[in-house]
Amino acid sequence: MNNTFFSIIQWKKIVYFILILFLFKFCFLCGYSFKTTLSFFDLGLLSISSALLLASGYLISFFYRNQQKKSKISIPLEKVKINSSYLLILGVSVGFILSFKIHKPWYGLIFILCPIAVILYSKNNPIKNFFSGIITSFLKPFAVLSLWWFDFPTNLSPSQWNLFFKLQMVTMLYVLISFLGNISREIIVDIINTNEDNIHNQKTLPILLGRKRAKNIALALSIITWVLIFSIAITFIKNRFIFSTIILLGNIPQLYYIYLLINASDIKNYKFLYTVNQFIFLLALASIPVVGYYFKHVIE
């Protein structure tokens, strides 16, 4: 039962999310003499609150979706609901502690409004569809933007504002690339689960349009992502270090992913694609310290 519970809350994604927050904090905010709102301890509180609320959200979504299913599941829905409530209360509480600690109690409203939105959406949209995949894909990169909002630097000099603006642009590019990659990955997951989703009357893209058209949409998004990454690499072509980093950690893996996607024809291929996608995500994480080093030691 514990294994089922941890699979529902998708703990690996939550761990990745926390790692991303600390990477962006360490690489893009620390070391530039920026005076920011959050200390690393405060970021820890933000991460704990966010992780608890994310876990609660996954359980809430699982609860409402499985109410519509007739098949038996390995964990009682009532227990899912109770655990979700506990995690939600803990998450909101930690969020309020953080808000008062940084002397911005009104931030506590965020930790209340977000769970309410998740509950209302899950309750009114119990059937999985393409739109729910887009929302899920958007929430993960949006969480990184929330870090900038919580930890926005103050009292910056003109030169620091210029550097901070560039760091924000880099972050926006990461967010956009992550968003497109997440949608493509969600489509691949839906293709893998097409038969099961069809049994439960889910309205995912492969069911509505067919696997081939869903694959073509994922392919188009992947190509757009590759073009975007390559365009970024071109802007740094005069700097061999950063240009090579983007090509090696971004363009080449993405090109390999596109090649596999073009030739994918069965579930086994798509499962391998999902694994490759996870590896590309890890390479993207590895690029964050490299880009941070570039801005700190080259641009400065």
CATH number of the domain to which 240 belongs: 1.20.120.1780
CA angle (187, 189, 191) in 5-degree steps: 70
My answer on whether 111 and 216 are in the same domain is no
CA distance 34 to 30: 7
One-character DSSP codes across 87-106: HHHHHHHHHHHHHHHTT-GG
Q: Which domain covers residue 196, as residue numbers?
A: 156-299
My answer on whether 4 and 142 are in the same domain is yes
What pLDDT, on the 0 to 100 scale, is given for residue 69?
Answer: 63
Q: Which two tokens stand for residue 218?
A: 């994922």
What pLDDT, on the 0 to 100 scale, is given for residue 32?
Answer: 64
- End-of-domain residue from the set 154, 186, 211: 154
What pLDDT, on the 0 to 100 scale, is given for residue 226?
Answer: 93
Residue 47 CB contacts under 8 Å (≥ 6 apart), including other chains: 18, 21, 22
What pLDDT, on the 0 to 100 scale, is given for residue 73?
Answer: 64
DSSP-based three-state secondary structure for 203: strand
CA distance 242 to 247: 9
- End-of-domain residue from the set 114, 134, 154: 154
Q: Which two tokens stand for residue 5?
A: 């519970």
CA angle (141, 145, 151) in 5-degree steps: 145
My answer on whether 204 and 287 are in the same domain is yes
My answer on whether 138 and 6 are in the same domain is yes
My answer on whether 11 and 140 are in the same domain is yes
My answer on whether 241 and 285 are in the same domain is yes
What pLDDT, on the 0 to 100 scale, is given for residue 257?
Answer: 94
DSSP-based three-state secondary structure for 17: helix
My answer on whether 50 and 186 are in the same domain is no
State how many domains the chain has: 2
Phi first, then psi, for residue 37 (nearest 5°) are -75, -40
Phi first, then psi, for residue 129 (nearest 5°) are -145, 180
- End-of-domain residue from the set 154, 179, 208: 154
Which residue type, as a one-letter code, is found at position 58?
Y
My answer on whether 64 and 205 are in the same domain is no
My answer on whether 189 and 233 are in the same domain is yes
My answer on whether 108 and 235 are in the same domain is no
Residue 239 Ramachandran class (φ > 0 left, ψ -120 to 50 alpha, else beta): beta
My answer on whether 35 and 135 are in the same domain is yes
Render each residue's pLDDT in the chain as its tens digit; 300 residues. 566 777 788 888 788 888 888 887 777 776 566 777 888 898 899 889 988 988 898 899 888 888 766 555 667 888 888 999 999 999 999 999 999 998 888 888 888 988 898 888 888 877 877 777 777 777 767 766 777 777 777 777 777 777 777 777 777 788 888 888 888 988 999 999 888 888 877 888 899 889 999 999 999 999 999 999 898 888 777 777 778 888 888 899 999 999 999 999 889 999 999 999 888 888 887 887 777 777 665 555
My answer on whether 222 and 116 are in the same domain is no
Which residue type, as a one-letter code, is found at position 186?
E
